[in-house]
Structure 1
């Protein structure tokens, strides 16, 4: 009788343990399924064409570490390099790429021209990573001294807005300065030769001119331009593969985590990709906010981007007022 009781108790304990274990397994499986549903990618993606600049740190790391290949194992990933943001968005508009990364001004120009795009994510503001530079022997001392001066910059780039804001702060009008529209490489050559009086530019070109040319900083973007980085996508791609956008943002953040853990390796990678000296790349990396992952646009970012667009429309730099919110992708 006693032995039978013990056997019955053990049997009950075993059944209880089995039920508890099975419940735990089911719960864990459900959790995994929920996690997968949040981060799962659209396996129907067969091709993903990225537009980037060599200085786009998160994309540079994602490219090196093949993060997108891991995220989209069925897709052919192609990396298409451009000199600046405006050229990236032109390629996006004509269907040559699916996703691109730019500064704050290129998408405003593109949207005002009626070119299709979606803002899908942004990186933290980095006003200290752009500047208006002057030669080391320049007589220019303050912003109002820019009146009548020749200033090199990429039209439609983030440096365009920086100069617009600087001119306003100086109490000047846009017609008081002479913008010289040049790509970063051509602007650097003109700056070195003394063919321009100032240069509105972003990192790593900014860091390079500082360290190698002895350029002086007339002003950074602090208090003038937040200098956001935006990830933009073709509406057709987003509508066809909404899960892929979530997966892409996840891998951008994976790349940023790698950057935070490996700043010197990141600087070495950027130096290798751009031909810049490692010490220049390190300044560039160190000047970048920490962290600088990608997030969907929030109300504050949309508002600041709208202020940029409104400023450009007020000055007739773009032909009409646009609504930034209308171009923001909402996964819901």
Structure 2
């Protein structure tokens, strides 16, 4: 009887001890969670491991924006500026930059899923869309027809585009200058097959041009400006009154649809850097020269003849792109008919 009474007296005490132990465990767990949250917040604020505490893809991996760029253009200036990286990293979003020798190579990378965002001239998106690339037009720069040209050596006997009949002309296949060449030949009364096209990326094109292996070279800035200043190459014709030579910012469709807010940040930053670059051509040249390995005078020349200001893609620009696509199809340069408007971000983008 006494044992049962003592057990009865011990039971409330044991229950009290158990409750106290449970409360202590809860408090310790809560303290641990608060400490962990504080550490994660500090990392995100410091921009170190913020991606792990910030935006993630559906599989739980930290969100990474993979941006392709060329040696010259708005995205190239934006990379050198660094502000876009900082803005996205503040939200725990990583940024990876990859350089390409030209627009066709950049859009091939987009087609196979290696990059999410990039910039090119007018022709590369046409060839890429014809190849089934899941690209969308996001924005464009104002026309810059003087930023691409057909060059001949300074002592060449070629005086007009008509003189190119039977000659070798170097160009990067599928690049913006491809359309310029087509229009120049058309204006001069020459057929596309009246010349011999030699498809070379810019660096190889420059070497072939200087060594005399080709008779002419159709090229864009800053390679155009560098050739002018270094070789005194003569401009046979530029794009004035023939082509618009827009620079486009393009995206991979699924990425654009999943992350519209990230796209808005990129476009806003691109427009910001354009506003600065427009009024600071020498500073742009000085900023890019170490990165590109091109002298400041050449880059300043290129900066002064391009136009600035990121604009949304509307019906007029899409119609101009359609004309390029139709021309390339007629010449057999692309294998299928395409509708450029299908590469708009949304139906509203074409209105």
TM-score range for the pair, normalised by the shorter chain length: 0.7 to 0.9
In 1, Cα distance between equivalents of 2:330 and 2:124? 17
Worse overlay, 254-263 or 182-191: 254-263
Cα RMSD (Å): 1.5
In 1, Cα distance between equivalents of 2:247 and 2:107? 13
1:280 Cα offset (Å): 0.7
After superposition, the Cα gap between the structure-2 partners of 1:251 and 1:331, relative to the gap in structure 1 and judged at 3 Å, is: farther
In 2, Cα distance between equivalents of 1:308 and 1:271? 33
SS of the aligned residue for 2:210 comes to: helix
1:43 Cα offset (Å): 5.0
Asked whether 1:321 is paired with 2:337, we answer yes
1:262 Cα offset (Å): 2.6
Determine the structure 1 residue equivalent to 2:82: 66
Determine the structure 2 residue equivalent to 1:145: 163
Aligned counterpart for 1:284 among listed residues 302, 312, 322: 302
1:64 Cα offset (Å): 2.4
Q: Deviations over 1:55-110 (max 9, x none)?
A: 12x22332223222233221110110010000100000111000010111011000
Determine the structure 2 residue equivalent to 1:213: 231
Determine the structure 1 residue equivalent to 2:246: 228
- In the superposition, the TM-score normalised over structure 1's length comes to 0.84
After superposition, the Cα gap between the structure-2 partners of 1:259 and 1:213, relative to the gap in structure 1 and judged at 3 Å, is: same
1:331 Cα offset (Å): 8.3
Aligned counterpart for 1:130 among listed residues 148, 157, 160: 148
Structure 1 runs of 4+ aligned residues shifted over 4 Å read: 42-45
- Counterpart mapping for 1:77-156 below 5 A: 77-156=95-174
Worse overlay, 270-279 or 312-321: 270-279
In 2, Cα distance between equivalents of 1:65 and 1:131? 28
Q: Deviations over 1:3-40 (max 9, x none)?
A: xxxxxxxxxxxxxxxxxxxxxxxxxxxxxxxxxxxxxx
List runs of 5+ in structure 1 lacking aligned partners: 1-41
In 2, Cα distance between equivalents of 1:273 and 1:309? 34
In 1, Cα distance between equivalents of 2:173 and 2:263? 29
In 2, Cα distance between equivalents of 1:61 and 1:137? 35
- Counterpart mapping for 1:238-277 below 5 A: 238-277=256-295
Determine the structure 1 residue equivalent to 2:311: 295
In 1, Cα distance between equivalents of 2:191 and 2:197? 12
Q: Deviations over 1:217-242 (max 9, x none)?
A: 11001122111111111011011111
In 1, Cα distance between equivalents of 2:276 and 2:56? 28
Residue-pair matches, total: 288
Q: Could you say which structure has the greater relative contact order, defined with CA pairs below 8 angstroms and 6 or more residues apart?
A: 1
Determine the structure 2 residue equivalent to 1:54: 71
After superposition, the Cα gap between the structure-2 partners of 1:324 and 1:176, relative to the gap in structure 1 and judged at 3 Å, is: same
Conserved? CA contact 2:161–2:184, under 8 Å: yes
In 2, Cα distance between equivalents of 1:135 and 1:238? 44
Q: Deviations over 1:260-304 (max 9, x none)?
A: 343211111222222111111110111112xx1212112221111
List runs of 5+ in structure 2 lacking aligned partners: 1-53, 58-62
In 1, Cα distance between equivalents of 2:79 and 2:224? 24
